[in-house]
Chain A
Amino acid sequence: MSGPSTDVDSPAPTARPGYGQHDPIYPEPFDDSLDHADIPIETRLELYRKQQEIRQLEQRLYDLFVQNLVKGTSHLALGMEASGAAFGVALNSDDYSFATYRGHGHTIARGVPPEPIIAEMLGRSTGLLGGKGGSMHLTSVEHGMMGSYAIIGAHLCIANGAAWSAKLRDSGQVAVAFFGDGATNIGAFHEAVNYAAVYELPTIFVCENNLYMEYTSIGQVTPVANPAADRASAYGIPSTTVDGNDADAVYLLAREAIEHARSGGGPSIIETKTYRHGGHSRADPGTYRPDDELEAWMAHDPIPMYHQRLLRIGVGERELTEIETSVAAAIDAATEAAKSAPPPDADALWTNVWADGGWQWRN
């Protein structure tokens, strides 16, 4: 490796399109061969149910925005349900999840009931965080949902801490950090993945690559094609890319990465290729996306595709309808309960700054 070699150890960057322009990126076709994957049917029904829960929760939240009942901002995962659902099914109940502001789906996927989630969005006293956290900070420690983090990158480092703790306590738990494509360009990504690799922590880094930061295509500001997976070699850890709209595909990788981490094999990166149906946040119509790209991805919707797969492998339409309607009923009931809950008490402002429950910083 020494000597004045003029070899280029890595490829020169390929030309990228100019500012504000980008080539559309289309989904790979759904992989029907996974119909025969080694996944029990009950697991698949669970994957379907969780995808339905996320979809219907997000749609409901969207409706509530339109009714102007949600204050502040909000970031939906419509179209991106498969990976949250897959990990929700693949994780043990005491494993740890860390999500971003786009974390409603990751929260419900860990078994958190919809009512406190919706109530939090509406800023009610019965909200998951008593109204203090809001849309971007959903957390349910009792469900292993260790928080939603709204500043890009930080939670990758924090997930390492939970993974380290599991190792110190020899508990066999793993930690999963979900993040976006845009997050791969921030320093904390580098520090976190490197750190996990150095200590062989049971951290699984799941990049949900929906092709865009807020309004800028990731390809415009990233010199490699797979912003997370193509960087794993910089840390000597395994990585894979996957159709992020195929719950089975993600589930298989999740199972494997979790097993790898749990058995002491260390961290890995999974990059899911996916797309959001709507804009970045409530205010964004998403017009920066080429029409045909959007169209292609709308047709590559994880939920109808999975529905079709289940029919192909012999699940009855009736059983699926039952799942859909039972989820709908739960979301309806949760919405009503949340809507009728009172706003937080004024006293709530002053609680839980400190472990003693209070806020006093002087005597």
Chain B
Amino acid sequence: MGQTLKRIAPQLVTLTLVVALVTVIFPNFLAVSFDGTRFVGPAVDVLKRSAPVALLGVGMTLVIATRGIDLSVGTIMAISGAVAAWAITSGMGLPASVALAIGAGLMAGLWNGCLVAIVGIQPIVATLILMTSGRGIAQLITEGRILTFSDANLAFIGSGSLLGVPFPTVLWIATAVIVALLMRRTALGMLIEATGINRAASALAGVNATVLLIAVYMASGFCASLAGIVATADIRGADANNAGLWLELDAILAVVIGGNSLLGGRFSIAGTMIGALIIQTINTGIMLSGFPSEYNLVIKAVLVLVILVLQSPNLAADWLFVKSLVKARRAKVRSETP
């Protein structure tokens, strides 16, 4: 636990700074009130709106740990959302609809995993294929329109609350905790890391790298399908055209801001979750600030760059270097003055 805290300390500091910045611009940002059934306030919104990116981030962290990348998660969201809405409007009931949607996500992950692990296509290209054609599949299901439904149970997943906490928040936190525990309480985490760092050596040591890779892409598909269900449930309709559009980039950003290396290996899901919160805080902050829309991207880009620079490993090394220089000079001075 202490180690995890130490590992994600820079991310926590960054989150605090971003929250402070937003609070300066919008003083009520941290105000939370209870309206009888649920907590409300901008910060609660952030926790709720982080759900898609955070969920995607859980899967993306694992994929990136294996030195891969999954560009198709936004599209998988659209597919799963479409499946869920289609199932519920054809009268299938909540459990069946959710199961079908998750099944679709798993299938998509299986497809990606096979292309990467068995056919040997580079992850970025393999998932680019699904990214392009998957949205077509989603539109095929909805026939290009927004498939609206009115089932209150499904809608609850997107906008209901549990003990006053928005359900999407509960869902992403629970998913993150369960996956993180699964990784660290079993040997999965280490095996994934080993595969990501050196697939050949891991395979020689008996790690079933192929199956592991497929499983990881399926996990990513699973998380994406949860995100897709949340997004669909949120607006009570499946928008195959826009659901999850470009969200894969935010998810990757969350993973990196969370301190994970894009080159695979060591990973931290907690870090990614904070990364997702940082991104959503920025997004919500931009919306609350009232700046004209055309400034959104520049503000986001500048903030992201600043965060990345602050978290850069080299900067840390430079600090150490400066410190050691100072130390060395002092030592020298001491040795020269007998």
Say whether A associates with B. Answer: no
Residues of A participating in the B interface, judged by any CB pair closer than 8 Å:
none
